[in-house]
């Protein structure tokens, strides 16, 4: 989820001429010195602080009220923000050979890597306009279905609730058709971004993105492949079981047992999470019996109460409550009188205390979990607020996403009972159902989380061209997810644009890493309280010793390489899939038994 301007900066503010910027540092004739580097970094941090707040507030105004004027304003501020970020990145490169303090060196490297889509000076205005058009096209997209106009966020609800294959195919096809006009703008965005990345010394935008993980870009690509290999057997078993159960529901004409699964049948527009088909694939007699959406509605939960419940989890760990301004300024429910960007996000608008969420919150189990996730960003932002400006960020972008995801694993029946949402916990005979629910959300997501950026790496490297964008997209979706489109696709289609993060220019690998890290964090939290039972039954709600150790890691921000932060909480320096495998071990054993007589793979 986007959370303002503290992850890689796709947009920036108040332009500073490069010559003036470097000249103000008083560079010596012999070349840049350590003192000059320190002065430059201090100046850049001050400018980022001032500029970032202006950009954040302008973007907030736009995303919570999409009009011609706010779109114009955000395009202008994004152009200026991009120019400043590029100026800082290019200026930082001048100090590559200077002998500087390790802290200054880390800040210089982060300035070079800070921008998601850099642009040459002459193309900055065009890039800002293109990215704004793409964001607006997605957020204001609509389809016609059964005699009414359906906005983007409601198309997702239809995919979750419909079961008629013909209607699912219709909604899926119409929404993906709405993305088709984005293709030309997207190709131009990639072209401009690549030109900007080359000016910064990177091969392309994909190499720039991969450089932000305290290791060489190629080493990072190999690292995510290593992690995927650890968890792929778990996904393969889940895919095999789910396909077999969907075959029983829809028949071989709709779900052949020797082909990838149709993308529209899994309860999600992008087949990235399969929780909505739980009732079709659940182990017999293992339904945990908790319809959280129904319970929340029966208990008269409101959007605000869902957010306050999420806050309560963090305060139970010892974190300070959110400031009053959070409740005064957040957008918690979709307004009826204006267009907004409904995609959930968390923001820190002044880099200190003005934290907010933006959610078109529905009374549902999904948004109950999303609220905990988004607040994880906010509490992380508050934890590192005393770091130097450049270090006010996650240890890597996967960390930021993993914090709330880790909390969501503790939304167990025990937790729901503590909240008085249920009267009694299901007995252990229901555990397979709980694990299946979790797998349909977390395990099902893993290949999608990986392939979105793999597709973009291929686009940025030139391996894919506009003529092959769509073919390349479906090749990866088939290879990694075992998914196929419900209707024939052509080279003219632009199906990647139907996913928010593609037109939004938001890197996606963070979500794959977050799924891995959340289980590492969760297991570390459970180990720290001496949990001895099955890992999936652990809840650390109210465990302040977990909160104390957790906050120590969060407070580091990006001041140290991410292995240092990981080690501080988990005791290991390597991202690793073993925790997620351990969590789902009982389900894995069961699925292997179920799949013995089935033909798996695609």
- CB proximity list for 356: less than 8 A, separation 6 or greater: 60, 325, 326, 329, 330, 331, 346, 347, 348, 349, 378
Q: Centre a 10 Å sphere on the Cβ of residue 547 and count the other Cβ atoms it contains.
A: 20
Burial of 219 from C-beta contacts in 10 A (0-12 / 13-18 / 19+) = exposed
Among the listed residues 511, 514, 524, 579, the single catalytic one is 511
Say which range, 248-257, 351-360, 427-436, 574-583, has the weakest mean pLDDT. 427-436
Which of 85, 91, 123, 344 is an active site residue? 344
Residues of the chain above pLDDT 90, percent:
80
Altogether, the residues listed in the chain come to a count of: 602
The span from the CA of 432 to the CA of 156, in Å, is 27
**For the residues 343-351, what does the mean pLDDT come to?**
93
pLDDT at 289: 65
pLDDT tens-place string over residues 238-270: 999 999 999 999 999 999 999 999 999 999 999
pLDDT in tens, 6-35: 444 443 322 222 223 333 444 555 678 999
Q: Is 328 a catalytic residue?
A: no
Is 70 exceeded by the pLDDT of residue 4?
no
Per-residue pLDDT, averaged over 510-536, amounts to: 93
Known catalytic residue at 511: yes
The single residue of 45, 53, 154, 401 carrying the catalytic annotation is 401
Interatomic CA distance for residues 9 and 49, integer angstroms: 13
Q: Which of 234-248, 262-276, 535-549 has the lowest mean pLDDT?
A: 535-549
- The pLDDT, as a whole number, for residue 537 is 87
Note the pLDDT tens digit of each residue in 418-430.
999 999 887 777 7
Measured CA to CA, the distance from residue 338 to residue 332 in angstroms comes to 14
pLDDT at 1: 41
Active site residue 536: no
Q: Please report, for residues 22, 233, 237, 521, 523, the alpha-carbon distance to residue 577 in angstroms, rounded to integers and kept in the order given.
A: 45, 11, 16, 12, 12
135 closest CA partner among 94, 177, 74, 87: 74
CB count in 10 Å sphere of residue 324: 8
Q: What is the pLDDT of residues 286-328, one digit of tens each?
A: 765 688 999 999 999 999 999 999 999 999 999 999 999 999 9
Structure tokens at 557: 């921000």
Confidence of residue 494 (pLDDT cuts 50, 70, 90): very high
Query: Is 583 designated active site?
Result: no
308 within 8 A of 454, measured Cβ to Cβ: no
- Alpha-carbon gap, residue 458 to 465, rounded angstroms: 9
pTM: 0.84
Delimit the domains of the chain by residue range. 1-115, 292-443+510-594
Instruction: Let me know if 387 is exposed, middle or buried by CB neighbors in 10 A (0-12, 13-18, 19+).
Output: middle
Q: How much is the pLDDT for 521? A: 96
Counts for the chain of helices (H) and strands (E), in that order: 25, 6
Mark whether 377 is an active-site residue.
yes
Q: Nearest to residue 365, comparing CAs of 447, 449, 421?
A: 421
**What's residue 45's pLDDT?**
96
Cα of first residue to Cα of last residue in the chain, in angstroms, is: 31
pLDDT bucket at 598, cuts 50 / 70 / 90: very high
Candidates 343, 372, 400, 536; catalytic one? 343
**Do the beta carbons of residue 380 and residue 349 sit within 8 Å?**
no
Q: Is 343 a catalytic residue?
A: yes
Does 374 qualify as catalytic in the annotation?
yes
Residue 13 φ then ψ, to 5°: -130, -160
Which residue in the list 241, 372, 400, 501 is annotated as catalytic? 501
Selecting among 27, 47, 374, 441, the annotated active-site residue is 374
**501 is known as an active-site residue:** yes
Residue among 487, 480, 472, 436 at smallest CA distance from 262 = 487
């Amino acid at each position: 989820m986007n959370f303002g301007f503290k992850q890689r900066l796709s947009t920036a503010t108040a332009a500073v001429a490069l010559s003036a910027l470097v000249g103000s540092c008083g560079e010596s004739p012999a070349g840049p010195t350590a003192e000059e580097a320190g002065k430059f970094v201090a100046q850049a941090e001050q400018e980022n602080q001032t500029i970032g707040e202006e950009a954040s507030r302008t973007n907030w105004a736009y995303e919570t009220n999409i009009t011609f004027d706010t779109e114009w304003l955000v395009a202008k501020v994004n152009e200026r923000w991009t120019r400043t970020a590029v100026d800082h990145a290019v200026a930082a490169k001048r100090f590559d050979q200077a002998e500087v303090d390790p802290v200054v060196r880390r800040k210089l490297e982060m300035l070079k890597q800070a921008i998601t889509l850099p642009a040459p000076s002459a193309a900055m205005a065009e890039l800002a306009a293109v990215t704004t058009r793409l964001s607006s096209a997605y957020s204001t997209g609509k389809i016609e279905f059964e005699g009414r106009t359906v906005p983007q966020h409601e198309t997702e609800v239809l995919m979750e609730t419909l079961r008629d294959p013909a209607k699912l195919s219709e909604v899926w096809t119409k929404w993906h058709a709405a993305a088709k006009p984005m293709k030309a703008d997207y190709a131009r965005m990639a072209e401009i971004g690549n030109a900007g990345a080359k000016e910064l010394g990177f091969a392309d935008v994909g190499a720039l993105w991969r450089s932000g993980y305290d290791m060489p870009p190629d080493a990072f690509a190999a690292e995510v492949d290593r992690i995927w290999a650890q968890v792929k057997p778990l996904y393969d078993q889940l895919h095999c079981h789910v396909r077999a159960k969907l075959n029983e529901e829809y028949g071989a004409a709709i779900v052949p047992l020797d082909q990838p699964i149709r993308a529209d049948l899994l309860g999600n527009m992008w087949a990235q999470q399969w929780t909505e088909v739980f009732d079709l694939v659940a182990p017999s007699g293992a339904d945990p019996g908790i319809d959280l959406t129904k319970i929340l509605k029966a208990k008269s939960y409101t959007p605000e109460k869902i957010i306050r419940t999420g806050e309560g989890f963090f305060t139970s760990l010892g974190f300070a409550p959110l400031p009053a301004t959070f409740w005064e300024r957040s957008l918690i429910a979709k307004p009826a009188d204006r267009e907004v960007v409904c995609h959930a996000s968390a923001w820190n608008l002044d880099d200190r205390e003005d934290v907010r969420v933006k959610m078109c919150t529905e009374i549902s189990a999904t948004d109950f979990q999303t609220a905990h996730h988004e607040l994880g960003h906010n509490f992380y932002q508050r934890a590192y607020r005393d770091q130097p400006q450049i270090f006010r960020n996650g240890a890597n972008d996967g960390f930021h996403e993993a914090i709330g995801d880790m909390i969501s694993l503790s939304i167990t029946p025990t937790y729901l009972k503590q909240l008085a949402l249920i009267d009694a916990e299901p007995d252990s005979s229901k555990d397979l159902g709980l694990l299946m629910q979790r797998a349909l959300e977390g395990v099902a997501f893993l290949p999608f989380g990986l392939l979105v950026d793999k597709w973009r790496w291929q686009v940025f490297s030139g391996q894919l061209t506009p003529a092959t964008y769509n073919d390349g997209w479906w090749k990866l979706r088939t290879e990694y997810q075992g998914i196929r489109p419900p209707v024939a696709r052509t080279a003219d289609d632009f199906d990647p644009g139907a996913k928010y993060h593609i037109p939004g220019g938001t890197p996606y690998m963070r979500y794959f890493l977050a799924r891995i890290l959340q289980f590492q964090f969760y297991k570390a939290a459970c180990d720290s309280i001496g949990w001895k039972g099955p890992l999936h039954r652990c809840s650390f709600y109210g465990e302040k010793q977990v909160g104390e150790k957790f906050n120590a890691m969060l407070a580091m921000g990006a001041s140290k390489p991410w292995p240092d932060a990981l080690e501080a909480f988990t005791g290991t320096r390597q991202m690793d899939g073993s925790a997620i495998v351990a969590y789902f071990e009982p389900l894995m054993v069961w699925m292997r038994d179920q799949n013995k007589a089935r033909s798996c793979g695609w």
